[in-house]
Amino acid sequence: MTPRSGTFARRGARVAIALTLAAALAAVAAAAWPGHGPFAGAQSPPAGRIDGTVRNGTAGAATPSALEIRLITLDGDDVVDSRTEIATDGRFTFAVDPSTSLTHVLRAVYADVPYFAEAVSLTPAAPEAERVITVYEATREPPTLSIATTTMTVVALDRASGELTLLREDIVRNPSDRVYVGGANGITYRVPAVDRVVEAGPVVDDARVRFEAGVVTAAIPLLPGETSIVTGYLVQYDRADDRYRLRVTTALPADRMEARVPARFVLSVDPIDGTERDGETSLRGERALVVARSAAEPGDSLLVDLVGLSGIARARNPLTEQPGAAIAALIALATLVGGAFATVALGRRRTRGAAS
């Protein structure tokens, strides 16, 4: 079994494109075309307005004197307007359509790192808003990084081929006031892959995330505060043994690690070596079993046996009931477990067949 990299995100792409959030985030991330949209050729200016301020969050650093700000306007999934203004002395203004169906996103790039303000939704009754974009100076010196939470979710089961699809989210904390952009190779984060991996990488095509020699690396800027990094894995389990040992390893100190497994996928989950049962949760209406461990040090692992992967009767499941549905589940669950627009990395994957 030779692990593969780079194909995980591409499979099932047509299903992924159908997912509205994924399409919207991808459009926002890539929006770099000249202004266009419903305001072109308008006879009167829009009645709404967004006033913005740029600030530098690094102590002692100056505010950029002339920074390009891009406004991206979404109507549902579609980018309907994209244009720029120059923030002079940290101030900028956009005239916008205040229609309630529109969402306005402000984006800036400073020192090759993208930044976003909180999205804006206006109404004709409240047609104005103010936003702040905070940028930071970059550093290649690694700060004292840690993990707030690591969550591994089993999102699909293909019994015919003996495969599981997993989604991992790491909430990485940067306590400094500079954005960490990695060393000379740009790598900011490394995490060991799970056992018996077939494919690994980003959930949505992202060249900054790679899988090589059993390790997933990310060249994603780590902003001050928390950044979500989401990766996906396709693994094989031994159908004769009818179980899979899930090993989730941390490369940084982690406050909490947990795994979530849809209850109907297994007969039982058996935690091992410091991992404990931690009740249940709901994943898009699916009852899921939770195991967790706390206060993990670098190299520590959450360990749990998923037992009886073939022993559950067929049941209709919106996560996995049709070919290609696993990629939809991955992207939707990526938003559920933390949003991670931060990568607009989100990220990544698909599964080969229907589960159950």
Please choose, from the candidates 215, 222, 182, the residue with its C-alpha nearest in 3D space to the C-alpha of residue 201.
Answer: 215
Higher pLDDT, 134 or 320: 134
Whether pLDDT at 23 is above 80: no
b/e string for 302-313 if b means 16 or more Cβ within 10 A? Answer: bbbbbbebeebe
Q: How many CB atoms lie within 10 A of CB 229?
A: 28
**Rounded CA separation 240/215 (Å):** 28
Whether pLDDT at 167 is above 60: yes
Counting residues of the chain whose pLDDT is more than 70, the rounded percentage is 74
**Rounded CA separation 337/341 (Å):** 11
Give me the residues paired with residue 289 across strands.
261, 280
What is the structure's pLDDT at 279? 97
Tokens describing residue 306 = 């998923």
- As a whole number of Å, the CA-based R_g of the chain is 22
| pLDDT, average across residues 199-209 | 90
Domains in the chain, please, with CATH? 31-136 (2.60.40.1120), 146-343 (2.60.40)
3-state secondary structure of 328: helix
What do you get for the CA distance between the two ends of the chain, in Å?
A: 23
In Å, how far are 25, 203, 290 from 331, measured between CA atoms?
Answer: 11, 7, 20
What is the structure's pLDDT at 182? 97
Residue 94 in contact with residue 84, Cβ under 8 Å? no
pLDDT averaged over the chain?
84
Tokens describing residue 6 = 């780079």
pLDDT in tens, 249-305: 999 999 999 999 999 999 999 999 999 999 999 998 999 999 999 999 999 999 999
Whether pLDDT at 216 is above 90: yes
Residue 104 in contact with residue 95, Cβ under 8 Å? no
Whether pLDDT at 321 is above 50: no
Give me the residues paired with residue 174 across strands.
225
**Rounded CA separation 344/204 (Å):** 9
How do 48-56 and 286-296 pair as beta strands?
unpaired
Tokens describing residue 42 = 């308008």
pLDDT in tens, 53-79: 999 999 999 999 899 999 999 999 999
Please choose, from the candidates 116, 193, 179, the residue with its C-alpha nearest in 3D space to the C-alpha of residue 348.
Answer: 193
Whether pLDDT at 330 is above 90: no
Residue 15 phi, psi dihedral angles, 5° rounding: -70, -45
What is the structure's pLDDT at 51? 98
**Rounded CA separation 15/191 (Å):** 28
What is the structure's pLDDT at 203? 87
Q: Tell me which residue has tokens 């994943």.
A: 283
Give me the residues paired with residue 165 across strands.
156, 234
What is the structure's pLDDT at 105? 98
Tokens describing residue 86 = 């120059």
